[in-house]
Amino acid sequence: MKLAFADNSEDAEIFFLGVPYDATTSFRPGARFGPEAIRSASYNFETYDCFLKKELPHVLDLGNVTLTTSYKELSAELSSILRSKKGFPVIAGGEHSITPLIVRELKKKYEDLNVITIDAHMDFRDKYMDSKNSHACASRRVSEIVGIDNMMLIGIRSFSKEEEENVEYYTSFEVHKRLKEICDRVKEMKNAYLSIDMDGFDPAYAPGVGNPEPYGLRPEEVREIIDNAALVGCDVVELCPPYDNGNTACLAAKMIEEVIVRA
């Protein structure tokens, strides 16, 4: 299956890639089914954005990378695809551990790359369950690539004592109260890569995730953040279809639409 708004033109300015990798899942498994669930959910929506009064742009759906449990193999395949493909990347996970691999490639292209993460979790552990490449270490690995001053984490409401770092982050409660101010900060981040961990949303909106965390963001808040971001690419990760009632996949597909209609 391809995305509803995909076409085959090789000159599309946006490409979509599924990365069904979930080898380090720590709680509820199934993120590998994320890309297909997003494609299927995309058929629910019009290809016209009635708020922006704009047709969705053409997207080349590249299919999925090979399903593997080896991070090294994944890294090699992902790098070669990202190197060879021109255009705005939209990547569907898979778990959050894929984000540092994408950021590493984009950093070669954009010297001043910034990263904005929507996430309930800090993901700043150096190591988790004996792995440096665990999804619980994703933002730590990203910080080692772009520098801790060039990232911001939005929606945070869960971290361990050892993870508390001098990184710019906003809790979901702060987002509810100071969205405008946070969007102004978002606006300042040039060449921004956006990583949307679906657990950043409240579980009421996004029940189908690997690590649900109450007190989350509302979809319209994330839409506002997207609206203010100068994006060069994005990923949507941690969607876990076996635990979904279908709504999380729809929300993931909608967020992708919100990104590409502005890309």
**Site of interaction with Mn ion (CB under 5 A):** 119-121, 197, 199
Task: Judge whether 34 and 64 are in contact, CB under 8 Å.
Answer: no
Residue 16, CA distances (Å) to 1, 89, 125 in order: 12, 6, 29
Of 119 and 258, CB closest to Mn ion: 119
Counts of helices then strands in the chain (DSSP H, E): 7, 11
**Smallest distance, Mn ion to C-beta of residue 119, A:** 4
Cis peptide before 63 (omega within 30 of 0): no
Of 12 and 31, CB closest to Mn ion: 31
Task: Judge whether 92 and 235 are in contact, CB under 8 Å.
Answer: yes
Q: 3-class SS at 103?
A: helix
**Smallest distance, Mn ion to C-beta of residue 112, A:** 26
Of 197 and 258, CB closest to Mn ion: 197
**Smallest distance, Mn ion to C-beta of residue 60, A:** 28
Of 74 and 240, CB closest to Mn ion: 240
**Smallest distance, Mn ion to C-beta of residue 68, A:** 22
* Chain residue at closest Cβ approach to Mn ion: 121
Burial of 95 (0-12, 13-18, 19+ CB in 10 A): buried
The b/e string for 18-46 (b: 16+ C-beta within 10 A; e otherwise) is: bbbbbbbbeeeebbbbbbbbbbbbbeeee
Of 239 and 259, CB closest to Mn ion: 239
What is the C-alpha separation between 9 and 155, in angstroms, rounded?
A: 36
Of 57 and 207, CB closest to Mn ion: 207
**Smallest distance, Mn ion to C-beta of residue 183, A:** 21
**Smallest distance, Mn ion to C-beta of residue 198, A:** 8
